Amino acid sequence: MKPKIFFTKLVGTGNDFILIDNRQKRIRSHKVVAQRLTHRQNGIGADGVLFLERARSRKANLRMRIFNPDGSEAEMCGNGIRCLVYYAYHHGLVPKRMQIETIAGVLAAEITEKGQIRVQLSSPKDWKLDLSFQRDGVMLQGGFVNTGVPHAVFLVDDLEKMDVGELGRWIRYHSAFAPRGTNVNFVQCKGPRQIAVRTYERGVEAETLACGTGVTASALISSQQKKVSPPIQVSTKGGETLTVDFKQESDTIQQVWLEGSVRMTFKGEIFHV
């Protein structure tokens, strides 16, 4: 019999993840494990697999690696890191304020007084504020920013009428973002501090109920387009809300924080990986 893998299932604002404590390095084929466990018929089912590992950096408490259902490793995941922080804190592995190592850098995180999970993301980079695409008579205008992973953001008048799957897939693979591609977000402004977002996620290759770095990118681009001001409440496809806050000094945006809730849904063990 193959050795069993113990896992925990967590949900961060609609994004569901399988978390495996891999501090003892029992899992070495991360890609294969992620592909098999995320399958929603033959595995457990999830938007991704979080591997909690020992930090390599002396500045960090723990290390996070995240793998998508297609087996690719993501640089970062806003809702994923919030889920890992929730797990680590509630299992006594970290204090209320901590540092988590990711491919995107060592990121600060904390548990708020209300039990929310708050994470400081890496400084946004690779800005483009003049994106324009046209397909089948639909004109899309917006911007691009890397919030740990790449995101294209388009402001629209009616979010519910957007074909996120078709348009998102087309933009995700567009030559403008080759060779790695991009995540794609569609945003509707709802007020001076409120937006709604739908996201097509690279690696999942479908629309998801939420995306933490996508929510953050959407808030940043909407702010730069003078549509909203921080702190920004972001409604997601899953029906929950995340808060994005940041400081802007001159032309520089700093101290970008993502805050929201996390739920631990169940634990178990699986044998057939």
Main-chain dihedrals φ then ψ at residue 269, nearest 5 degrees: -140, 145
Which entry of 10, 34, 76, 77 is annotated as an active-site residue? 77
Question: Annotated catalytic, 211?
Answer: yes
- pLDDT score at 253: 92
**Where are the alpha helices (H) located in the chain, listed in sequence order?**
30-37, 78-90, 164-172, 212-224
The one-letter code for the residue type at 61 is: N
Task: Kindly report the number of other CB atoms within 10 A of residue 85's CB atom.
Answer: 27
Instruction: From the options 3.90.1560.10, 3.90.1150.10, 3.30.160.250, 3.10.310.10, give the CATH code of 5-122+261-270.
Output: 3.10.310.10
Say if domain 125-253 classifies as CATH 3.10.310.10: yes
- pLDDT score at 273: 66
- pLDDT score at 1: 57
Reading the block at residue 134, the tokens are 């046209």
Which entry of 187, 211, 221, 232 is annotated as an active-site residue? 211
Decide if 116 contacts 261 (C-beta within 8 A): yes
- pLDDT score at 136: 84
Tens of pLDDT, residue by residue, the chain (273 residues): 567 899 999 999 889 999 999 999 999 899 999 999 999 998 999 999 999 999 999 999 999 999 999 999 999 999 999 999 999 999 999 999 999 999 999 999 999 999 999 999 999 999 999 999 999 888 999 999 999 999 999 999 999 999 999 999 999 999 999 999 999 999 999 999 999 999 999 999 999 999 999 999 999 999 999 999 999 999 999 999 999 999 988 778 989 999 999 999 999 999 866
Integer Cα distance of 168 and 80 in angstroms: 21
User: Where do the structural domains in the chain lie, given as residue ranges?
Assistant: 5-122+261-270, 125-253
Decide if 60 contacts 27 (C-beta within 8 A): no
Name beta bridge partners: 65.
51
Task: Tell me whether domains 5-122+261-270 and 125-253 share a fold.
Answer: yes
Decide if 14 contacts 199 (C-beta within 8 A): no
Burial environment of residue 160 by CB neighbours within 10 A (0 to 12, 13 to 18, 19 or more): exposed
Whether the pTM exceeds 0.75: the reply is yes
Question: Annotated catalytic, 83?
Answer: no
